[in-house]
A and B are shown apart, each in its own frame.
Chain A
Amino acid sequence: MHPIVRWLVITAVAALASGSSWAADCKFDTDETDKFTKVRTLVTQRDSLESFWGDGSKRKQQDIYVSAYYHDGEQALNIQILFTNYVKRMPPEYELRNAIVIPGNSRLLLMMADGSIVTLNSANPVNANARATPTSSRVSVDSAASIYYPLDDERIAALSSQSASRIRVEAAETHYDFEIHVKSQDDIGNAIKCIQANI
Chain B
Amino acid sequence: MKCLAVTAIVVAMLAASVDASAASCKFKQNTIDDFTQERLVRIDWVDMTGWTSSTFKRTIGHRKDIEIAAESVGGRSLLKFRLRLSDAVRKPPRESDLYSALYVPAGSGLEMEMADESIIELVVDKEVRGTNHAKYDDGWFVVTSKFVVKYPVDDALTERLAQEDVVYLRVAAQSRNYDFVSEQGTIEFHINEKAQRAFKKVFDCLQQAHAEDHA
Contacts and interface: CB of A to CB of B under 8 A. Distances in A.
Interface of A: 89, 91-95, 109, 111, 117, 166, 168, 173
A92 B35 contact: no
A16 to B, nearest CB: 33
B35 A117 contact: yes
A34 to B, nearest CB: 39
Contact of A166 (B34, B99, B131): B34
A33 B132 CA distance: 51
Main secondary structure of the interface of B (DSSP, over half): mixed
Contacts, number: 19
Contacts of A173: 126
Contact of A168 (B35, B95, B131): B35
Interface of B: 34-35, 95, 98-99, 126, 129, 131-133
Nearest to B100: A94
B99 A94 contact: yes
Given A92-B98, A166-B35, 4 more contacts: A89-B133, A93-B95, A94-B129, A117-B35
Counting chain B CB atoms within 10 Å of each CB, the highest count among A93, A95, A168 belongs to A95
User: When A and B form their complex, which 10 residue pairs have the shortest distance between CB atoms, in order from nearest?
Assistant: A94-B99, A109-B35, A92-B95, A168-B35, A92-B98, A117-B35, A89-B133, A111-B34, A93-B95, A95-B131
A144 B131 CA distance: 21
A92 B133 CA distance: 8
A151 B99 CA distance: 41
